[in-house]
């Protein structure tokens, strides 16, 4: 069951990256008006 832990970490990392991507896209949209 060791792969389960790494899978959870991967999912969390993916969520963080996704959030950052969404935030940067939102900020660029805001700056462009």
At residue 6 the predicted structure's pLDDT band, cuts being 50, 70 and 90, is confident
**Cα distance between residue 19 and residue 4, in whole Å:** 23
The residue-averaged pLDDT of 2-30 equals 90
CA angle, corner 30, sides to 32 and 22, nearest 5?
115
The pLDDT, as a whole number, for residue 22 is 95
Residue 6, both tokens: 């790494």
The residue-averaged pLDDT of 13-33 equals 93
């Amino acid at each position: 069951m060791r792969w389960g832990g790494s899978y959870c970490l991967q999912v969390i990392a993916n969520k963080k990256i996704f959030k950052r991507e969404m935030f940067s896209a939102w900020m660029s949209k805001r700056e462009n008006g």
